[in-house]
């Protein structure tokens, strides 16, 4: 069985139609509801929609699921991504442990080769492992799953709010009151699962959004700065350069040059 994490249920249907080797069931799971996933059946493969979801959601989803598999003393399955020809963040995907990708629109030959190759490799590994759980280990596991669920829900709520207010001035105290938590807990949960504090995540997210606007819009630098929460374009340029090693105007110029070539 393979989980297909996406808000588009058609992906699992299309993959089922394209795969003509093996006996694999593609099960659609809503990527925005990972904390509600049931683990009665462990998938052999997890396929994440990278086209319609931002990188940070993909990262937190992958980390959270990996942790839950480990708590069950189950070897985590491989994670692969669905991308298209315009997707420019393959390196980021590989950096967080995504092992492969499949291209959309789906091609039967590619689907059969990539997916069956991974599943056959996993089957060999699985046959070498056996696990025995004691009652105390099971209790420990269940308690940690409950804790993980609450942390994931907190992260999901926080990310949803920050993405919807990305152009606004954000105060940590106000954010914590809205989420019903405290600053230490919120920052610790982000560090545990995303490897950074809330505001480090927000700064990166703002720069990703700015880069997208530089590539796809005709807005000037000041307008883009305001769109991502910077009232001072000089501060915006400094923050952008830390991430992309170019000022916004140079970044846009290089992007236009690359598509012309």
pLDDT for the residue numbered 141 = 47
pLDDT for the residue numbered 175 = 94
- Phi-psi category of residue 215: left, alpha or beta, with phi > 0 → left and psi -120 to 50 → alpha: alpha
Q: What is the pTM of this model?
A: 0.51
Greater pLDDT, 188 or 73: 188
pLDDT for the residue numbered 27 = 87
Q: What mean pLDDT comes out for the span 118-146?
A: 52
Work out the mean pLDDT of the chain and round it to a whole number: 81
pLDDT for the residue numbered 220 = 96
Look at residue 231 and tell me whether its pLDDT is greater than 90: yes
* Stretch among 55-69, 198-212, 223-237 having the lowest mean pLDDT: 55-69
Greater pLDDT, 115 or 144: 115
Report the SS3 class of residue 72: coil
Greater pLDDT, 153 or 139: 153
Between CA 43 and CA 55 the distance in angstroms is 22
As given in the structure block, the two tokens for residue 139 are 């209790």
pLDDT for the residue numbered 63 = 83
Q: What mean pLDDT comes out for the span 75-88?
A: 87
């Amino acid at each position: 069985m393979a989980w297909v994490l996406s808000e588009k249920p058609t992906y699992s249907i299309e993959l089922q139609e394209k795969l003509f080797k093996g006996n694999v069931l593609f099960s659609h799971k809503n990527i925005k509801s990972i904390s509600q996933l049931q683990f009665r059946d462990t998938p052999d493969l997890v396929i994440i929609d990278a086209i319609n979801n931002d990188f940070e959601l993909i990262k937190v989803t992958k980390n959270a699921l990996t942790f839950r598999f480990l708590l069950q003393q189950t070897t985590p399955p491989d994670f692969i991504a669905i991308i298209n020809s315009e997707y420019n963040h393959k390196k980021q995907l590989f950096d967080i442990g995504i092992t492969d990708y499949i291209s959309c629109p789906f091609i039967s030959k590619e689907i059969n080769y990539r997916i069956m190759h991974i599943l056959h490799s996993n089957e060999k590994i699985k046959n070498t492992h056996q696990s025995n759980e004691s009652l105390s280990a099971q209790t420990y596991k269940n308690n940690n799953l409950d804790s993980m669920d609450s942390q994931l829900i907190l992260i999901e709520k926080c990310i949803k709010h920050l993405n919807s207010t990305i152009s606004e001035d954000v105060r940590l105290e106000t954010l914590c009151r809205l989420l019903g938590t405290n600053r230490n807990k919120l920052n610790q949960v982000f560090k545990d699962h995303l490897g950074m504090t809330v505001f480090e995540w927000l700064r990166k997210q703002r720069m990703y959004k700015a880069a997208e606007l530089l590539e796809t819009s005709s807005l000037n630098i000041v307008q883009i700065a305001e769109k991502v929460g910077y009232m001072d374009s000089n501060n915006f340029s400094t923050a952008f350069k830390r991430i992309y090693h170019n000022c916004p105007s140079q970044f846009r110029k290089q992007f236009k040059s690359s598509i012309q070539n």
